[in-house]
Homo-oligomer: A and B are copies of this chain.
Amino acid sequence: MLHFDCDYMEGAHPEILRRLAETNLEQTPGYGCDTYTEHARELIRRACEAPGAEVYFLVGGTQTNATVIDGLLRRHEGVLAAESGHINVHEAGAIEAAGHKVLTLPEYDGKVRAADVGHYIEEFYRDETWPHMVAPGMLYISHPTEFGTLYSRSELEELHAVCRRHSIPLYLDGARLSYALAAEGNTLTLPDIARLCDVFYIGGTKTGALFGEAVVITRPELLPRFFTLVKQHGALLAKGRLLGIQFETLFTDGLYLRIARRAIAAAMKLKEAMLAKGYRTHVDSPTNQQFFVLPNREIDRLSRYATFELWGPRGEQESIVRFVTSWATEERHVDELIGRL
């Protein structure tokens, strides 16, 4: 059976495992106060060209989103996000559990538009009952989005500008950031993102790490005492160096991007084959998540050979499906899948 369900089905890149084994019996202080973690921070600052940034390592995406958003918002504020944003759908209410409303914006293939953000905020304050409503206190975006799509540099610049104009922080969820950076046609570099976002995270779980997300805070004054908040959210790893070592490895010799490119190549090969077969994409994604509209018959047939995700409800004749490649996807598996189409 071939597996294209998601990008966290394997363990870690072998180089990461090697480094974990190599350092295994060394003794280091806990909670990220070790030299591996410090080095990883430095590598990330350099990759982002953000020497003043603070970098924290957390374990998973939901806890990262919950902790950062909780830290950025005041009690009377909510977070603006696309209707389809991960925090609005698949995080079991973690944002609300910390007391904050998710204020939804229309989504266009998973993306929000600066004009909609501006419109929301302006209409909000134009409504004279606004003091009775949850104030838009920050903007959350995901890049790539939940549909695998990407913001262009000018789009992110516009989002940055509208947030600055209204004095709210811009936070980017980069759970799959590697696949954005490695995508063909991508116009946003890590330094761009660091320049345009107040906080963002670089996902490790889905790109070669056993687990781990690196939170980059380019305006540290927005998140004072973040360490304590991480602890309060249960997101502080005792053996913090495990995160440091993993990100140190990913940000050494360009490993992070290199392995992401493999996933992209596999995804593009699959997309071309699907299009060649006459199927159409549901969304045109340049990253490792691919969405196709397939006849139900074809879905049922393919399911005998491969696992993938039914995206949304099954249609009458055809349905949307998602195939995901990862840093670990082998070319022969893609070829085998294509052969089954």
Contacts and interface: CB of A to CB of B under 8 A. Distances in A.
A52 interface: no
Each complex incorporates copies of this chain amounting to: 4
Contacts of A135: 225, 228
A236 B17 CA distance: 22
A132 B75 contact: no
Given A205-B239, A210-B242, A211-B237, A96 B78 contact: yes
Contacts of A62: 231, 234, 236
A211 B239 contact: yes
A308 to B, nearest CB: 12
Contact of A235 (B8, B63, B224, B328): B63
A47 B68 CA distance: 39
A113 interface: no
Interface residues of A, number: 76
Contacts of A26: 10-11
Given A225-B135, A237-B211, A242-B210, A24 B11 contact: yes
Contacts of A193: none
- Chain B CB within 10 A, most for which of A6, A62, A210, A232: A232
Interface of chain A: mostly helix, strand, loop or mixed: loop
Interface in A1-36: 3, 5-6, 8-12, 14, 17, 20-21, 23-30
A93 B67 contact: no
A105 interface: no
Interface in A246-299: none
14 contacts: A3-B27, A6-B30, A12-B24, A20-B210, A59-B60, A63-B235, A75-B232, A76-B92, A90-B129, A90-B132, A92-B229, A94-B234, A132-B228, A133-B228
